[in-house]
Amino acid sequence: MDIKDFSDEQLAGQRLMVGFEGKRFNQDLKFLIRDLRVGGIILFSHNVETPDQIKNLCGSIQEYARAHGQPLLIIAIDQEGGQVTRLKEPFTQFPGNSAMRNVEDALYFAETTAAELAEVGINMNLAPVMDVVSKEITSIMEGRSFGHDPDWVSTMGVTVINCLQHNNIMAVAKHFPGIGRTAADSHIDLPTCDGNLTDMKNCDLLPFEACIDNAVAGIMLSHIIYNKIDPKWPASLSQTIGQKLLREQLGFAGVSMTDDLDMGAINRHYEIKTAIRQILLAGIDMALICHKGPNIEFAYKEILQNIKNSKKLRASGIESVRRIMNLKKKYLGI
């Protein structure tokens, strides 16, 4: 599909990656695909059961999109290994990044995971975690990170990314610009980080720079306020971080996305309209809303209204959807 032929409604919908309830193709998914024209679906443990069930679900999603003249969807999952593993047995179980001893471990994880995801129709892994955990605190990412050394995190993460993507699974590096310095959990409330940009450039940002150099498909922004970079907005809503730092300074040309907007860091502090407006201003490509509820439709309507009313946001939105479609062309063959 050529982006110049996209309606405003399609431009709005492609900016959303959303969750749903159920294990079978259902009316909720029909509404999301047909009416909201969403660009992506995210699967959680409550959506998955057996390999055959997942394959049928993903196949039905893509068939319905084709039948209604929509681009194929990104179908994403968090399959990091260890603490964050949505697919249980009979899928291969891994102990997680912190248990990896060498590059061979990273390759085995990525090759096996890519094959298992591709077999059931999942085309994006929201992994790897590229956060560098601090030695000074008990980091919230202690069990999910590759460790304390940014060079080691870079080496292991890039190994996973290159292997996943060589096997046609989009990888997403997270959580930009790094949450290894925080102890609080953004699922519950809004953490802050006092690291300045110089400190972060010497440590936290190095793995993300390596990811960008290796053409990672996506980068997820954190729900953390970095007091010395942008004291007003968390990274996921920040023009300073999402546009100036990630795009302009680091030169990232892939798809940027927020962490889940249903998390406490956002929904306890910002209305969905405010969050979406900031995401658009920051030029972040995809808003992630992981749970069924009114926020999905509210977000769609807010994106649509803004691109209809603002030439600047519409132009920015076209660039975002172009990046999304470039990924789909590369990995989904559309």
List, by residue number, the catalytic residues: 187, 259
Residue type, 177: P
Is residue 222 a contact partner of residue 192, using CB atoms and an 8 Å limit?
A: no
Structure tokens at 60: 């039905």
Residue 284: beta bridge partners?
A: none
| Coil vs helix vs strand at 82 | coil
Q: At 256, phi and psi to the nearest 5?
A: -100, 145
Sequence-separated (6 or more) residues with CB below 8 Å from residue 33:
61, 64, 65, 68, 70, 73
What is the C-alpha separation between 310 and 217, in angstroms, rounded?
28
Helix axes 311-332, 294-309, angle to 10 degrees: 120
**Could you give the C-alpha distances from 243 to 28, 249, 289, 316, 320, in angstroms and in order?**
33, 9, 21, 11, 12
**Could you give the C-alpha distances from 29 to 18, 26, 73, in angstroms and in order?**
10, 5, 12
What is the C-alpha separation between 73 and 47, in angstroms, rounded?
16
- What count of Cα atoms within 13 Å lies in the side-chain half-sphere of residue 114? 21
What is the C-alpha separation between 145 and 147, in angstroms, rounded?
5
What is the C-alpha separation between 217 and 270, in angstroms, rounded?
28
What is the C-alpha separation between 191 and 107, in angstroms, rounded?
33
What is the C-alpha separation between 281 and 238, in angstroms, rounded?
8
